Amino acid sequence: MNVQIEESWKKQLAPEFEKPYFIKLTEFVRNEYRSTTVYPPGKLIFNAFNLCPFDKIKVVIIGQDPYHGPRQAHGLCFSVNDGVAFPPSLQNIFKEIQSDLGNPIPTSGNLTRWANQGVLLLNATLTVRAHQAGSHQRKGWEELTDAAIQALASQREHLVFILWGAYAQKKGAFIDRNKHLVLSSAHPSPLSAYNGFFGNKHFSKTNEYLIAHGESPIEW
């Protein structure tokens, strides 16, 4: 199957694109876009991969589901388009960055600036029906994103994997802690942010690790 995705990722994920689950997933997603409102826009489904070639990635942040409100989702986990109000989890992420690094709260919640520096902002599920959280879970996306994480964990070294909340931690449980830095904490959502997200210092820890391994730090 000819999937429109950045070339290095196309090479990495090519075996997945021929598997029965992916063919079935493609059929389901096409039908959903034809028959109802789905986010993100179709051309941005693989935005996280397209902005972050395989060999340029330094950090992986794992989310769960795209935002399901109008104009929010654009293919990067936790990120929203310019001009869109910050969802609560993103507000808390920016608060932790301010507390950890002293950076002011930005005016835009568009995290393309992170992706351009090698931060893969990967949701486990890449599409969602409008106003129906989790509506495209268990349709096949999780297998594809598992394969992507597996490829990075096995073929690259000294990456930082950031796992917020139980879902992301389960998805990244297999990552070799001797080969990569794995940072885990509570999720930044208002329900759990005070149970260990605030004060986790993941942004400074990420940069210290990158510098220690000869990489430039991320401008958060």
Q: Which residues are catalytic?
A: 65
**Residue pair 25/32 in contact by the 8 Å Cβ criterion:** no
- What residues have CB less than 8 Å from 132, skipping those under 6 apart? 68
Phi then psi for residue 39, to 5 deg, are: -120, 150
Per the omega criterion (within 30 degrees of 0), is the bond before 53 cis?
A: no
List Cα–Cα distances, 211 to 57, 60, 183, in angstroms: 15, 16, 16
What is the rounded distance in angstroms from the CA atom of residue 51 to the CA atom of residue 67?
Answer: 19
61 beta partners: 121, 162
Strand pairing class (160-164; 59-63)? parallel
What is the rounded distance in angstroms from the CA atom of residue 15 to the CA atom of residue 204?
Answer: 36
